[in-house]
């Protein structure tokens, strides 16, 4: 596995021109450094009194452009991470929960990190990263640091 370094995330984020770029470039940098199979970023939105997170950017995701993926706060693992504002790490992802598809086939990853992108205690988004290999404590900390850098960059653009 390649070495991980938050400076690579900072470098990627410097070229971001808007919020969508920040989310996409941050996610790509984290996923590439972790050799992740797939990744997604959900951004917090609000309609009337309902807060939810909506898929904004992806890494190796396979879905139609017109597909909207959203979770209310508290709904599923993504919504739970948004509510709790805490990192979730699953080391036994149920078969079929997610499919990673390549030109050679598809398979379900076994490991999942779901990390809040938050400024102080305010959740701005959620990172979801799937892998076939387990993540150690340093890699999970790296994802948290990456999420923090994304949050700080979102706050300044």
Length of the chain: 157
The rounded distance, in Å, linking the Cα atoms of 68 and 136 is: 32
Does residue 1 lie in a domain region?
no
* pLDDT at residue 97 in the model: 67
* pLDDT at residue 68 in the model: 87
pLDDT tens by residue, the chain, 157 residues:
457 899 999 999 999 999 999 999 999 999 999 999 899 999 999 999 999 999 999 998 877 777 889 999 999 999 999 999 999 998 887 676 666 666 666 777 789 999 999 998 899 999 999 998 999 999 999 999 999 999 999 988 6
Count how many domains the chain has: 1
Q: How many CB atoms lie within 10 A of CB 44?
A: 19
> Residue 49 belongs to a domain with what CATH number?
3.30.450.40
Does residue 87 lie in a domain region?
yes
Does residue 15 lie in a domain region?
yes
The rounded distance, in Å, linking the Cα atoms of 118 and 95 is: 30
Does residue 100 lie in a domain region?
yes
Q: How many CB atoms lie within 10 A of CB 48?
A: 5
* pLDDT at residue 58 in the model: 92
Does residue 96 lie in a domain region?
yes
The rounded distance, in Å, linking the Cα atoms of 67 and 55 is: 9
* pLDDT at residue 107 in the model: 72
Dihedrals phi, psi of 121, to nearest 5 degrees: -105, 5
> Range of 87's domain?
6-156
Does residue 53 lie in a domain region?
yes
The rounded distance, in Å, linking the Cα atoms of 79 and 77 is: 6
Does residue 79 lie in a domain region?
yes
User: Token pair of 155, please?
Assistant: 């706050």
Does residue 60 lie in a domain region?
yes
């Amino acid at each position: 596995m390649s070495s991980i370094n938050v400076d690579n995330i900072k470098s990627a984020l410097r070229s971001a021109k808007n919020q969508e770029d920040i989310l996409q470039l941050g996610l790509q940098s984290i996923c590439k450094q972790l050799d992740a199979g797939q990744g997604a970023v959900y951004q917090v939105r609000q309609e009337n009194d309902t807060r939810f997170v909506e898929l904004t950017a992806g890494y190796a995701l396979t879905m139609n452009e017109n597909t909207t993926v959203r979770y209310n706060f508290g709904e599923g693992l993504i919504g739970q991470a948004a509510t709790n504002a805490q990192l979730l790490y699953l080391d036994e992802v149920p078969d079929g929960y997610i499919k990673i598809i390549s030109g050679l086939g598809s398979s379900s990853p076994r490991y999942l990190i779901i990390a809040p992108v938050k400024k102080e205690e305010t959740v701005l988004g959620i990172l979801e990263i799937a892998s076939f290999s387990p993540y150690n404590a340093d890699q999970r900390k790296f994802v948290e640091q990456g999420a923090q850098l994304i949050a700080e960059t979102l706050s300044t653009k």
